[in-house]
């Protein structure tokens, strides 16, 4: 028996499983190039816009205080394109470059994940619990060209940046401004 996926009777669990099974059994060709942002997110946005897919939130975030951020597929697609432009433009990153994100799980964390996929940039996630030693090691081992953090974590991150020889840009997520840092919200 199959069941509905998010109330959409056209997209059944059994259909999803059979699709992946057909790929695993080499009955379907894998695409030479696959990009989740353009091949899935943008396609779902188009289906929603055309009325062929019911409008469901692509992203829905609620914090402990009850604040909500809700984006449709179209909004997430548009925001991720803007964020990808920030990464490739203002931050000077190219396909294959590495970025370290030391962020709590705020909406921008997910937005930057999709933006990196879209731009072909490798995202190295880090939690807000990383120590200065952890951050320094990750910067050196990954040869990351950009670091992204929140305005509250920036002072701790900043303490290890002088030793990073590969870093080109620093991007801050939040309301505050710091010397030498780009602000994501302003650039979006």
pLDDT value for 12? 45
Architecture of domain 36-186: 3-Layer(aba) Sandwich (3.40)
**Residues in Cβ contact with 140 at an 8 Å cutoff, skipping those fewer than 6 apart:** 163, 164
pLDDT value for 169? 95
Per-residue pLDDT of the chain (188 residues; tens, 9 = 90+): 444 444 554 444 565 567 667 767 776 666 788 888 988 899 889 988 888 888 889 999 999 999 999 999 999 999 999 999 999 999 999 999 999 999 999 999 999 999 999 999 999 999 889 998 999 999 999 999 999 999 889 988 998 888 788 999 999 998 878 999 999 999 99
pLDDT value for 82? 97
Q: What is the pTM of this model?
A: 0.82
Alpha helices in the chain, H assignment, sequence order: 13-24, 36, 42-49, 73-88, 107-119, 132-142, 154-158, 184-187
Radius of gyration of the chain (CA): 19
Ramachandran angles phi, psi of 67, nearest 5°? -70, 140
CA distances from 117 to 38, 48, 50, 150 (A): 9, 21, 25, 21
pLDDT value for 181? 94
Domain boundaries, the chain: 36-186
């Amino acid at each position: 028996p199959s069941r509905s996926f998010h109330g959409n009777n056209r997209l059944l669990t059994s259909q999803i499983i059979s699709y992946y099974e057909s790929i695993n059994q080499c009955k379907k060709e894998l695409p030479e190039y696959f990009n989740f942002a353009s091949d899935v997110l943008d396609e779902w946005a188009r289906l929603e816009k055309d009325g062929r897919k019911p409008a469901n939130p692509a992203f829905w975030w609620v914090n402990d205080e009850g604040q909500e951020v809700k984006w449709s597929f179209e909004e997430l697609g548009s925001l991720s394109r803007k964020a990808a432009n920030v990464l490739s433009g203002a931050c000077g990153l190219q396909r294959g470059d590495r970025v370290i994100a030391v962020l709590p799980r705020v909406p921008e964390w997910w937005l930057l994940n999709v933006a990196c996929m879209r731009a072909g940039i490798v995202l190295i996630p880090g939690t807000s619990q990383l120590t200065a030693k952890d951050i320094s090691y990750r910067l050196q081992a990954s040869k990351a060209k950009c670091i992204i953090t929140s305005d509250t974590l920036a002072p701790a991150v900043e303490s290890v940046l002088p030793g990073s020889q590969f870093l080109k840009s620093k991007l801050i997520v939040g309301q505050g401004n710091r010397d030498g840092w780009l602000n994501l919200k302003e650039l979006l």
